Structure 1
Amino acid sequence: MPMLPGMPDAVAGRPAKASARPPLRTLDQAIARSHDIIAQALDRYPIVARQALVSGGNDSMVLLHLVRPYLDSSHHDAVVHVNTGIGIDDTRQHVRDTAAAWNLPLRELHPRDSYEDLVLGQVIARTGPNAGIRAVWKGFPGPAGHSVMYRRLKNEPLQRNRAAIIGTHGRSQKVLYLAGMRWDESDRRFRTAAEIDPDGGIIWCSPLAHWTNAQMREYRDRHLIPRNPVAEHLHMSGECLCGAYAKPGELDEIAFFYPRPPTPSAAWKSRSSRPGSRPASGAWPHPAATSPSPAASPDGCALPARPPWPDRPT
């Protein structure tokens, strides 16, 4: 039975990181719970900056609309968008336009290492036993490579952003990252998402964790949240096209809606297949042999509930 506005709804089952099975809630009750979660994080930790992580997808715009009143505590408070360098320009522009329309400061972060260099095996490990010796990755990633792509393209700029705010004072000062992860989003998020997740100088907070898909739709309709045409066309935000969880034919689908300029993933697929180029570990995308163990991502990459094919060898 389809959910109607005002009807209570709940995530089915008990998520792995929830203290109890989420109860039935109307949208207004779900909103109240979201504010309670944020209040708990602010009361529990010495937060010196509040930032909303926005991928540009439709879910992240609901998050941003909900948390706007909290982004006024310091000059560090802002909307944060990680420009991975391999996203669709329309998504980045959607984030910029929405932040401007809602009169919110925007920080657009960029990774130190490029996707191009990662694919071509030109990013050498800087720490650990392989420091200065081995590439951290080479070739187009399968699901097992998602953790490398996430760390290099998204987490690294977020960590640098945190360091720029609090430096070495991670024990006495924290940055609150408000993210849009939800238990109802996928099987994977059902297992991994937490309402509040401290990580050194960063406090990850997912105030929408308990929201159902029906509640997200109701909120968007109630508040006329601007939708990203990229998400409407591709069913993902389009801000990270690393290919780790791509489905067969995905590049063709992207090119159908966004043919010019070509996606960086498509461009480097072409370059890596030229004579004399560094060989990739597999074509993008290309099926192969073993099952992956994907790492967590706070927001953005297209993460289906189950990988569309097994991982490829590296």
Structure 2
Amino acid sequence: MGRRTATLEPLPGMPDTIGRKPVKAEHAPPARTLDEAIRRSHDIIAEALDRFPIVARQALFSGGNDSTVLLHLTSHYLDSSAHDAVVHVNTGIGIEETREHVRDVARSWNLPLRELHPRDRYDDLVLGRVIARTGKNAGIRPVWKGFPGPAGHTVMYRRLKDEPLQRNRAQIIGSRGRTQKVLYLAGMRWGESERRMRNAAEIDPDGGIVWCSPLVHWTNAQMAEYRRTYLLPQSEVSAHLHMSGECLCGAFAKPGELDEIEFFYPRTAYRIRSLEQRVKAADIPACKWGQKPANQKTPKPGSIAGRLCSSCPAPLAGQTDLMDLWATQGLLTPANTTPTCASQVAA
């Protein structure tokens, strides 16, 4: 699928190796060529398939750049059972253009798509309408109230992303988690953030789910080279906002992020600002999206952000400066920043 072109040099400043040892890695990954990185990825997937009784292989696709590389690399594994598919979690608080891009890519590449939806709506969570179903607060207290801030990310992740994935797993294997497993292929990488450096593993079994991160050892430079080599499509959201935009819970939003979203996607920003007014009218103190509530504690560094939330942590040090550097040097041009149509990549 796709075609190979001449190897391209990484932009200046992009790392071509991971500088230190990830906590969950047995050995610090050596510098590799792109072809070596690709072979290692397939070895990781083969190991997962050999070790566990996998009955369904599913590639998790957010619509962002990294998950597009993952999907292109793993698409030929999605043909072993009726449950094999591309999986996109529609959190209900994302940018619609991202969802359209996900559907377009799956259609263009002739891949089956499962679009999952959470049981609890984001609006109901921040308005305090989702009452605890288990534990000491069952039937009494809401699981959350107000916009999340960093400390509320775990609640949002579990309700908006993990719950539909667990329900999807249950629909496939039910209670047969000992003898049957669902393989979730995810795009987590050690080079993304401190959280990934601490928590991402190549293969991570979790009950009836086996999480597999075949790109975990890839560097930013290798990701960029792969995208250019195979002419992968880029969503307009990733081009504009440098994130997938599939989840805007706001837990780790950067200053001015909502204004940036409003510039490109005013309908999405209007939806969030309207929800702010509803939260404020309900006399809930945490009524500003993307702002940490005054009395909220900051999570400890390295705490788990959620397996699928690669864009939640703050940008890597120097990232903004590199973008400015590349623009100044004329390396960022319309040719390499304009989104490509999914139809340009052959299935």
Is TM (by shorter chain) over 0.5? yes
Whether the 8 Å contact between 1:180 and 1:298 is mirrored in structure 2 is no
Q: Which residue of the other structure, out of 304, 311, 336, is the alignment partner of 1:295?
A: 304
Q: Tell me, what secondary structure is at the counterpart of 2:47?
A: helix
Q: Greater shift after overlay, 78-87 or 298-307?
A: 298-307
Distance change (3 Å), C-alpha of 1:157 and 1:263? farther
Could you tell me which amino acid in structure 1 is paired with residue 9 of structure 2? L
Distance change (3 Å), C-alpha of 1:179 and 1:263? farther
2:186 aligned with 1:179: yes
Structure-1 separation of matches of 2:40 and 2:306: 23
Gaps of 5+ in 2: 1-7, 318-347
Whether the 8 Å contact between 2:93 and 2:249 is mirrored in structure 1 is yes
1:40 corresponding residue in structure 2 = 47
Distance change (3 Å), C-alpha of 1:99 and 1:65? same
Gaps of 5+ in 1: 309-314
Distance change (3 Å), C-alpha of 1:306 and 1:134? farther
Q: Which residue of the other structure, out of 63, 75, 88, is the alignment partner of 1:68?
A: 75
1:311 corresponding residue in structure 2 = none
Structure-2 separation of matches of 1:107 and 1:161: 9
Q: Tell me, what secondary structure is at the counterpart of 1:260?
A: helix
Q: CA deviation at 1:9?
A: 3.3
Q: CA deviation at 1:186?
A: 1.1
Whether the 8 Å contact between 2:64 and 2:238 is mirrored in structure 1 is yes
Q: Tell me, what secondary structure is at the counterpart of 2:141?
A: coil
Whether the 8 Å contact between 2:89 and 2:117 is mirrored in structure 1 is yes
Q: Deviations over 1:40-80 (max 9, x none)?
A: 00000000000000111111000000000100010000000
Q: CA deviation at 1:300?
A: 4.1
Q: Which residue of the other structure, out of 281, 290, 310, is the alignment partner of 1:285?
A: 290
Could you tell me which amino acid in structure 2 is paired with residue 252 of structure 1? D
RMSD of the alignment, in Å?
1.9
Structure-1 separation of matches of 2:99 and 2:253: 20
How many aligned residue pairs are there?
302
Q: Tell me, what secondary structure is at the counterpart of 1:237?
A: coil
Q: Percent identity?
A: 68
Q: Deviations over 1:153-197 (max 9, x none)?
A: 000000000000000100100000000000011121111110000
Whether the 8 Å contact between 1:109 and 1:158 is mirrored in structure 2 is yes
Q: Tell me, what secondary structure is at the counterpart of 1:49?
A: strand
Whether the 8 Å contact between 1:243 and 1:265 is mirrored in structure 2 is no
Whether the 8 Å contact between 2:195 and 2:304 is mirrored in structure 1 is no
1:81-120 alignment runs, 5 A limit: 81-120=88-127
Q: Greater shift after overlay, 285-294 or 234-243?
A: 285-294
1:138-287 alignment runs, 5 A limit: 138-262=145-269, 264-274=271-281, 277-287=282-292
Q: Tell me, what secondary structure is at the counterpart of 2:204?
A: strand
Q: TM-score, normalised by structure 2?
A: 0.83
2:9 aligned with 1:4: yes
Q: Deviations over 1:3-61 (max 9, x none)?
A: 826xx932111101111000111000000000000000000000000000011111100
Structure-1 separation of matches of 2:290 and 2:193: 21
Q: Tell me, what secondary structure is at the counterpart of 1:161?
A: helix
Structure-2 separation of matches of 1:280 and 1:77: 44
2:331 corresponding residue in structure 1 = none
Could you tell me which amino acid in structure 2 is paired with residue 112 of structure 1? R
Structure-2 separation of matches of 1:292 and 1:61: 30
- Deviating runs (4+, > 6 A) in structure 1? none
Q: TM-score, normalised by structure 1?
A: 0.92
